Amino acid sequence: MITRIKKLASRLLPSNQYARSVSILAGGTITSQLLTIVATPFLSRLYTPADYGLLALFMALSGILATIITLQYETAVLLPKKEGDAIALVVLSIVVAIVIGLFFSVLAWIIYLIIRNIKVIPSPSAWLFVTILTAIGGSIIATTIGWLNRKCAYKKITQVRIGQAVASVIISILLGWIGISSGLIIAQIIGVLVGLLLISFQLMPLLKGGVGVSLHVLFKVASEHQAAPKYLLPTALLDVVTLQLPIFFISAWFSTETAGQFSLAWRLLALPITLIGSAVGQVFFQRFAQAWPDVIEARNLLFKTWVSLSLVGILPMLFVMIYGDIFFIILFGDAWVESGVIASVIAPMVFAMLISSPTSSIFLVLGLQKYSLFFGLSVLIYRSGSLYFGIIVNNLYLGLTIWVILEILQIILFNLMALRRMNKPEMASFFSLKGQNE
């Protein structure tokens, strides 16, 4: 599978150092994801759907918190021309993550003390505090990976990702074997700890170099990159909340077990998006940006990519739609038949995402970013609305079907808008003149 994905990416990859760098990063992502997927048939027999539902909730909440607590300053580590400013941004991101994370921890503890004796309101569990600490650790890892990316240390990034995946898989299997139901969550926590251990060898020298960073410098770089919390944070938060929304709603409106069934179906079907998106998306962005404003070349690249991705995904989609329930029973066990049915329902949507997601960067090249908020809000509304309709009629599958239809229509509208902009001659001439002036 890895060889086929690399061959697909090589059709778009330029033969230079950039291609090798992307190949290393994609290889790390592919390997870490495949380790998890290969272990899933074993884990699905050691843990119940409810256990997977709790893991999905844990990962969703920690992902949202990790997006918030750095204020997205870690995304700016690549930008400064001066090395000292980049180091200051790393220090700033870590300090902000720790401070805000601890604030959330204290706030959660205060809320717990207030409502613990009120029987009507459920108190936060101990997992909430662990989730916050996990989010802090994940933010530190993400910040350091941003620094390693700046230093072109792609092999080290790959080592961190694979190390985390190996640790999580091994601990999950061991704890499941001895019957600890929360083993999946514990394994994720240990995976973060392993990631922190691996990046500490890169982080400690960096922090020593940043010891002399004064508060004045931190406030300076925070001010210079204030666009991160002002503009990137709302968008990133909207994206991650929208992505994790189904887990929260399905858990709250149906059951944690159903959320676990959905989580497994989504993780398995979204794997091609993760793998191929990482291998193709970055390279497509680079080549499309080079091709534009040549409308013919840009359109040919876009359609070639769409056709290639369609050929990759069409047969797996049809197979899952027809035999999803049987396939999941054989692969994961009898307890996961509902997950197979869910997979058969959402397969067309995931297929549409597979085609569109790696080429979504055309919005940036064409200057259509202002519409991103509109699409983000619309996704938030129709996903929650579809699932809520499902709870009203007590039919999750109907709610998922409505979500699938609306998601596909949104993807079509997204790409039609981009094609319409590409077809405007004044757009091409504008970018051409801009390039000449530069």
For residue range 187-230, list pLDDT tens digits in order. Answer: 999 999 999 998 887 777 666 655 556 788 888 888 888 888 88
436 pLDDT higher than 50: no
> 310 is written with which tokens?
């369609």
- Taking residue 401's Cβ as centre, other Cβ atoms within 10 Å add up to 17
Weakest-pLDDT range from 89-93, 237-241, 351-355 = 237-241
For residue range 320-330, list pLDDT tens digits in order. Answer: 999 989 999 99
CA atoms within 13 A on the CB side of 285: 13
For residue range 280-312, list pLDDT tens digits in order. Answer: 776 677 677 777 777 888 888 888 888 888 888
For residue range 107-156, list pLDDT tens digits in order. Answer: 878 777 776 665 444 445 667 788 899 999 999 998 988 888 777 777 88
253: region left, alpha or beta (phi > 0 left; psi from -120 to 50 alpha)? alpha
Question: Which residues lie closer than 8 Å to 78 by C-beta, 6 or more apart?
Answer: 86, 146, 149, 150
Q: Nearest to residue 243, comparing CAs of 267, 261, 227? A: 267
Q: Nearest to residue 389, comparing CAs of 254, 265, 256? A: 254
* DSSP collapsed to 3 states, the chain: CHHHHHHHHHCCCCCCHHHHHHHHHHHHHHHHHHHHHHHHHHHHHHCCHHHHHHHHHHHHHHHHHHHHHCCCHHHHCCCCCCHHHHHHHHHHHHHHHHHHHHHHHHHHHHHHHHHCCCCCCCCCCHHHHHHHHHHHHHHHHHHHHHHHHHCCCHHHHHHHHHHHHHHHHHHHHHHHHCCCCCHHHHHHHHHHHHHHHHHHHHHHHHHHHCCCCCHHHHHHHHHHCCHHHHHHHHHHHHHHHHHHHHHHHHHHHCCHHHHHHHHHHHHHHCHHHHHHHHHHHHHHHHHHHHHCCCHHHHHHHHHHHHHHHHHHHHHHHHHHHHHHHHHHHHHHCHHHHHHHHHHHHHHHHHHHHHHHHHHCCHHHHCCCHHHHHHHHHHHHHHHHHHHHHHHHCCCHHHHHHHHHHHHHHHHHHHHHHHHHHHCCHHHHHHHHHHHHHC
pTM of the model: 0.80
Average per-residue pLDDT for the chain: 81
CB of 224 within 8 A of CB of 197? no
